[in-house]
Structure 1
């Protein structure tokens, strides 16, 4: 769905933000992680067509981003910004969500149907006439997600979706992501919440100083603690706990760990080695 070939980008000559990136994206849900300044947000803007490669090419469903505009790419890829205030400008919730579908040339009836469906998905269907500026930061984020979903792009990229979300909000976003995956959308995120990555994304890519240093199945990526440490990326809390307890297995969720402990004489999680006895001391 996306091909990135020999991509480099800089704002100032001689100071590359991204260096010779080569990536291929299929329909696996994908998280892009790395420390601040690693180039993640710049990469997202390049994918959306908001920036153009200095060298190399990006193809969104076989369309070279150099030959089109961000507006024209909106039918293929949608970006939910980190700060919802950068995205909201209409006076009511329903009008805000309808902006995108109308901009991609859907007729008004279809645009409204899509918008109502998207608002139902994010849990804001009962606030159609509310002023978006009166919503909480959490609900503003959900509103922006609905605005992108209503355009029905095949690729949706979330920039820090869990910021300003409590546990209930994160659970709601998790359900939204799962629903989009079931619709065969490519769901991508730029994020610092490693626990959310472990629970929701099949593939993880690690950026460090403008380069890709890890790329693979999320469990495999989080098993490379040495490379992650160099890239200044922490593993999920349950992964850290497993390591501190002496396990070599890479746990991604608390449920996995509990299931593993309940089945000590089997290997319930695909790819795990036979478990060792639970390490403890009489202290």
Structure 2
């Protein structure tokens, strides 16, 4: 396990318990989506992985090392964290300087720094914007700059906080392909997300947090059945799953290829419900 969390508890200074006995492990190369309602503890959990927050009790191990006593700079060699708001981590006068900041601080040799920076710019579609000031870019582009700055640090673990927020379709496709390629390279990707479509298309496993606890942990293929059975209104089925249910198909469909396979197999959809039929909100 590259990440091992055991009985993690965290309380804010006002006494609010954000995490309450959270335990799970993540293997190298896994793609794990962490979902749940606002305030469930998702981002708080992610900040623990890079040392921004520290546990009240419980333990965290990253790549076999307890995080107790490890500073943010040391943890940054293993875990790269992309903030939900890119402006929280962008400070350089150009995109290329921003992307080069991390590997320079990690004291990588010049040749390796240059290679990592160029690769990160290329993989995030930012090569043409290399000399642009980050704050002259759109929100979606700034999010990609923040992502590129983490990729250039070449960490074995990448944590993404709401990566698809503010992104257009082309950027989400690029991001999804990047998540897939990182996993293919053996790197671990964790995403804090409300985007269920992105989750089922690009992740292997889903962890649900509710009231600071792990409410469910399982393979993404079992996720639609869990959502259909739970009373948690903050969880939503993927769009294609909802459409398949409206068409009367047996079993969940979650991806475009799976949906097209159902269509090409000649599956006969059931009649659509009448306008008077009430459709539960989570199925719309």
Normalised to the residue count of structure 1, the TM-score between the two structures is: 0.91
2 CA distance for matches of 1:189 and 1:56? 22
Displacement, 1:262?
2.0
2 CA distance for matches of 1:246 and 1:229? 22
The 8 Å contact of residues 215 and 221 in structure 1, kept in 2 or not, is answered as no
Please name the residue that 2:88 is paired with: 86
2 CA distance for matches of 1:71 and 1:169? 29
2 CA distance for matches of 1:167 and 1:281? 29
Please name the residue that 1:217 is paired with: 219
SS in 1 for 2:24: strand
1 CA distance for matches of 2:23 and 2:244? 33
The 8 Å contact of residues 81 and 159 in structure 1, kept in 2 or not, is answered as yes
Displacement, 1:248?
3.8
Cα pair distance change 1:40/1:282, threshold 3 Å:
closer
2 CA distance for matches of 1:214 and 1:153? 28
Normalised to the residue count of structure 2, the TM-score between the two structures is: 0.90
For 1:60, which of 59, 62, 83 is the aligned residue?
62
Spell out the pairing of 1:1-283 with structure 2 (5 A cutoff). 1-12=2-13, 14-26=15-27, 27-226=29-228, 228-230=230-232, 232-263=234-265, 278-280=269-271
1 CA distance for matches of 2:231 and 2:260? 26
Structure 2: tracts of 5 or more residues without a match:
275-284
The 8 Å contact of residues 228 and 237 in structure 2, kept in 1 or not, is answered as no
Q: Structure 1 residue runs of 4+, over 6 Å off?
A: none
Displacement, 1:122?
0.7
Structure 1: tracts of 5 or more residues without a match:
265-274
Greater mean deviation of Cα atoms: 32-41 or 65-74: 65-74
The 8 Å contact of residues 246 and 272 in structure 2, kept in 1 or not, is answered as no
2 CA distance for matches of 1:73 and 1:94? 23
Displacement, 1:227?
5.2
Q: Deviations over 1:202-254 (max 9, x none)?
A: 11111111111111111202211355432621111111222233334121113
2 CA distance for matches of 1:11 and 1:122? 35
Displacement, 1:6?
0.9
The 8 Å contact of residues 91 and 98 in structure 2, kept in 1 or not, is answered as yes
Displacement, 1:184?
0.8
2 CA distance for matches of 1:14 and 1:150? 38
The 8 Å contact of residues 16 and 210 in structure 1, kept in 2 or not, is answered as yes
